[in-house]
Structure 1
Amino acid sequence: MSRRGGRPLVGAVLVSLASATALAGCSSADASQDRPQLKVTGAFMPQPVGDMASGFLTVTNSGGAADKLTSVTSDVADDITIHETKDQRMRQVKSFDIPAEGELTLDRGGSHLMFMGLKKKLVQGQRISVELHFEKADPIEVDLPVKETTYNPTRH
């Protein structure tokens, strides 16, 4: 009797294990959708006129979770900040939001990266390496080509 009564119990345990395994597989697939998936495009730096420069780029997030750009580092300047422009006024901010399934655009006349106290003269044709740091995603290394001072990709 106990043997016969034990079979349904063994079957129930096996079904439970199979269900848990299936759910674990689903949750790990869902977890990848709940993380930011970041890609950087359109990066450039207009040739600086003095010891400061601006950088522009777009960060696209194809993931299911938002993120934030929190800082930028590079060997061309020790002081790199992120600035937003609102009502024609520029101010430093601690981070920029990158919405899930959305993008952060840093462009001329708007929000941008600010390089202060450049360590060397930067000229058109060079490529500047920067590392973007995020709240959730791993850092991304990006090359910013130095373009002519008046370069504006929306006009090309």
Structure 2
Amino acid sequence: MRRLAPVTLVSLVTTAALVLAGCGSGDSGDSGDSQAELSVSGAYIPQPVSDSMAAGFLTITNKGGAKDELTSVTSDIGDVTTHETVDSSMQEVKDIDVPAHGQLVFKSGGSHLMFEKLKRKPKQGEKVTVKLHFAESGTVTVEMPVKSATYTPTTGH
């Protein structure tokens, strides 16, 4: 039987330790990144000109490593649906993805919230409570301030 030189034995033990250490690092180090981490910013509703309909805009940011899905939106002022604009035409969509490490932006001329069958017409200066329902993250409650009908945000939307 051949004996290993001390330097070779140390190299072998060190390599084995590094390989074993690498095997377990994926379990604990990535766990926080394997789920959605949602936040909402820039939410507002332009004061509606109609007594029965209004639009809403906001940005949902996902800093997590997994996508989530906006499945519905509810509010105490009326029915809420999600719409997107495709080729200058508005269409309702049921579920909208919030990509991992990305954003879902509801903005004028693009995807937006549509409030219909309003129980009351929200006025500038008020806040409207909206609940965003997600497939994985549950419900996120957002207070959407009502801005002037001509309000144009300076960033984001």
In the superposition, the TM-score normalised over structure 1's length comes to 0.80
SS of equivalent residue, structure 1 residue 32: helix
Q: Per the alignment, do residues 29 and 141 of structure 1 end up closer, same or farther by CA in structure 2, a change over 3 Å counting?
A: farther
- How do 1:138-149 and structure 2 match up within 5 A? 138-149=138-149
Deviation at 1:49, TM superposition (A): 1.2
More helix by share: 1
- How do 1:86-101 and structure 2 match up within 5 A? 86-101=86-101
Partner of 2:59: 58
Residue identity matched to 1:56: F
User: What is the aligned residue count?
Assistant: 134
Partner of 2:104: 104
SS of equivalent residue, structure 1 residue 153: coil
The percent of aligned pairs where both chains have the same amino acid is: 51
Q: Per the alignment, do residues 53 and 65 of structure 1 end up closer, same or farther by CA in structure 2, a change over 3 Å counting?
A: same
Deviation at 1:26, TM superposition (A): 5.5
Q: Which runs of 5+ in 1 are unaligned?
A: 1-18
- How do 1:13-28 and structure 2 match up within 5 A? 23=24, 27-28=27-28
Deviation at 1:97, TM superposition (A): 1.2
Distance in 1, Cα, partners of 2:95 & 2:102: 16
Distance in 2, Cα, partners of 1:99 & 1:58: 12
SS of equivalent residue, structure 1 residue 110: coil
Deviation at 1:135, TM superposition (A): 1.2
